[in-house]
Amino acid sequence: MVAMDNLQMTSEKAQFSLSAYLQEHQSLVEAALNQAISVVYPEKIYEAMRYSLLAGGKRLRPILCLATCQMAGGTLEMAMPTACALEMIHTMSLIHDDLPAMDNDDYRRGKLTNHKVYGEDIAILAGDGLLAYAFEFVAVNTSNVPAERVLQVVAKLGRAVGAAGLVGGQVVDLESEGKADVSLETLNFIHNHKTAALLEASVVCGGVLAGMTGEDLQRLSCFSQNIGLAFQIIDDILDITSTQEQLGKTAGKDLQAQKVTYPSLWGIEESKSQAQQLIAAAIAQLKPFGDKAIPLKELAHYITSRTH
Q: Which is nearer to ligand GRG, 74 or 105 (CB)?
A: 105
Residue among 82 and 195 whose Cβ is closer to ligand GRG = 195
Alpha-carbon gap, residue 250 to 238, rounded angstroms: 11
Site string for ligand GRG, 39-68 (x = CB under 6 A): ------------------xx-x--------
Closer residue to ligand GRG (CB): 76 or 236: 236
CB of 35 to ligand GRG, least distance (A): 19
Report how far residue 187's alpha carbon sits from residue 265's, in angstroms, rounded to the nearest whole number. 10
Q: How far is the CB of 226 from ligand GRG (least distance, A)?
A: 15
Degrees to nearest 5, angle at CA 157 with 149 and 200: 95
User: Minimal distance in Å, beta carbon 262 to ligand GRG?
Assistant: 12
For residues 154 and 138, is the Cβ–Cβ distance under 8 A?
yes
Q: How far apart are CA 114 and CA 126, in angstroms?
A: 8
Q: What is the number of the residue whose Cβ is closest to ligand GRG?
A: 57
Which residue in the set 29, 166, 260, 294 belongs to the binding site for ligand GRG (CB under 6 A)?
Answer: 166
Binding track over 229-248 against ligand GRG, x by CB under 6 A: ---x--x-------------
Burial class (CB in 10 A: 0-12, 13-18, 19+), 4: middle
> What is the per-residue binding string for ligand GRG in 126-145, x denoting contact by CB under 6 A?
-----x--------------
Beta-bridge partners for 112: 107
Residue window 171-200: x/- pattern of binding to ligand GRG, with contact defined by CB under 6 A: -----------------------xx-----
Binding mask 92-121 for ligand GRG (x = CB under 6 A): -xx-xx----x------x------------
**Contact call for residue 224 and ligand GRG (CB under 6 A):** no
Q: Is 217 in the site for ligand GRG (CB under 6 A)?
A: no
Angle at which helix 120-141 crosses helix 76-97, to 10 degrees, equals: 160
User: What residue spans of the chain are helical by DSSP H?
Assistant: 2-5, 18-36, 43-53, 60-71, 76-97, 114-118, 120-141, 147-161, 166-176, 184-191, 197-209, 214-241, 244-247, 253-256, 262-266, 268-284, 294-305
Distance CA 182, CA 172 (A): 10
Nearer to ligand GRG, 52 or 75 (CB): 52
User: With the CA atoms of 37, 39, 45 and 48 taken in that order, what torsion angle do they form, in degrees rounded to the nearest 10?
Assistant: 70
CB of 148 to ligand GRG, least distance (A): 25
* Residues that bind ligand GRG in the complex, under the rule CB under 6 A: 57-58, 60, 90, 93-94, 96-97, 102, 109, 131, 161, 166-167, 170, 194-195, 232, 235
